[in-house]
Structure 1
Amino acid sequence: MTSTESKDRIYRSPAGIAGGVLLLGLAAWLGIDAIVAGEGRTPWLALAALLLIVPLVTAFTLRPAVSADDDRLRVRNPFRVVVLPWGEVASLRSGYSNEVVAKSGKKYQLWAIPVSLRARKKAARREARRGVGAAGASGAPGVFGGRERGLGGLAGFGGGAAVPEGPVRAQSDQIMDELRELLEAREKAESAQGQVTVRWAYEIAAPAVAGAVLLAVLIGLG
């Protein structure tokens, strides 16, 4: 995930972008090769497949983004863009996915901020190790009496090193915390009021549908 330090914050998934670039490169390589070197209906089938695959891969990997400023939260998901003034946001939830809940009760998933259970477990382990390091650094009583020293094997916590403040959190959870702080600070601001707007991404859906129809016709013709 990335965010800018400026007034406008933009969050995207680096892993999703990297995966999308690789998939698009593979699709272009195979598709163009089939169009140029293929015979019979093969070039047309390849063209139809590219029309279907490229928009879908783009929609689910490169397109998702979440941007936030002092007035609104803008959620760009695979097939629609949702703009929510902070005054219309009821909550930001984190579970197996991250989502924003409008005051109308509608929920919108934040595709650009995926939840990683692995990252959460890793953060929990780091938090547990930090707790052990903090106990050692502060001279907590040991199991055999006396005072324990910091564990040198724990990076950043050995030799009486200072322990960072605040709990260790997965990156997606940190981002959600930032958005919750912004919501709390701005939800009652006059400039943060308005209506929730939803725009469908026809620029993604149209070529994908055209590719699917062309592919179905070609397959149907045998």
Structure 2
Amino acid sequence: MKSVDAADQAADQTDPVYKDRGYRSHGAIAGGVLLLAIGAWLGIDALIRGEGRTPWVALAGLFFAVPLVIAYTLRPAVYANEDRLRIRNPFRTITLPWGAISGLRSGYSNEVFTQDGTKFQLWAIPVSLRGRKKAARRHAQQVAADDPAASRVRPGAPGATHPHTRDAGDQSMDDLREIAERRENAEAAQGEPVVRWAYEILAPSVAGAVLLAVLLAVG
């Protein structure tokens, strides 16, 4: 019996207490995969069939462009758990304990503010004006159908509760606001913001840019 209890305790220690909730832009991921496929096709063709400086220019172009495409399409993500918000933007990763956040704002972009007034954009949760217009049309249809739940809230407004009157990005921001309000005073959610530059993206891109500039300058 004791051995079983010990095994259960060991399993509890290895499993994460809080799992991250992830937010990403599926449209950006699809676009990034398409751009990488086209770039790989053109670049590899130039490397194999190119003559003279063409293979070197193609190689430099790939080193320069591929990290940038990854940075702006595949890399952006937002992860949230009960203790902190982790924002993975194109060139930086920002870790914010909930206690360090003063608010989240949705306008023409989605942003988070820290207690000292620093602003960080949430690249992985883009604002879709088209999506908001669709949500507004659905809201109008629900009001026209005398839906009491829809008539109490303005479409796109923070706090709108009807499941069919919110754009996906706005709903994601509502989820983050709910966690922030619930956990802002929790002891485990206190701390200072941590910002780390994505050198794995910056280094190859800068190297490719320098090599490309040298090749073009030499002529």
Aligning the two structures, in what range does the TM-score lie when normalised by the shorter sequence?
A: 0.7 to 0.9
Amino acid at match of 1:201: A
Larger radius of gyration: 1
TM-score using structure 2 length = 0.84
Given the alignment, which residue of 179, 183, 197 partners 2:180? 183
Higher helix share: 2
Deviations 1:130-152 (A, max 9, x none): 1001269xxxxxxxxxxxxxxxx
Q: 1:12-41 deviations in whole A, cap 9, x for unaligned?
A: 000000000000000000000000000000
Return the letter of the residue paired with 2:69: V
- The unaligned stretches of length 5 or more in structure 2 are 1-17, 149-160
Equivalent of 1:104, from 87, 95, 116?
116
Q: Partners of 1:19 and 1:54 in 2: how far apart?
A: 13
Partner of residue 87 from structure 1, selected from 93, 99, 104: 99
Secondary structure, counterpart of 2:145 in structure 1 = helix
Q: Which runs of 4+ in 1 moved over 6 A?
A: none
Give the stretch that moved more between structures: 164-173 or 73-82.
164-173
CA distance in 2, matches of 1:73, 1:104: 16
For normalisation by structure 1, the TM-score amounts to: 0.83
Question: Which one-letter code corresponds to 1:187 in the other structure?
Answer: E
Q: Which residue of 1 aligns with 2:156?
A: none
Secondary structure in 2 matching 1:134: coil
**Is 1:213 matched up with 2:217?**
no
RMSD: 1.5
Percent identical among aligned pairs is 64
Between 126-135 and 82-91, report the one with greater CA deviation: 126-135
C-alpha separation between the residues in 2 aligned to 1:171 and 1:218? 45
The 5-angstrom pairing of residues 56-205 of structure 1 reads 56-134=68-146, 165=162, 168-205=165-202
Q: Which residue of 1 aligns with 2:53?
A: 41
Q: Which residue identity is paired with 1:54? A: V
- Given the superposition, is the C-alpha separation of residues 77 and 135 from structure 1 closer, same or farther in structure 2, using an over 3 Å criterion? closer
SS at structure 2 position matched to 1:114:
coil
Q: Deviations over 1:169-212 (max 9, x none)?
A: 11100000000000010000000000100000000000000000
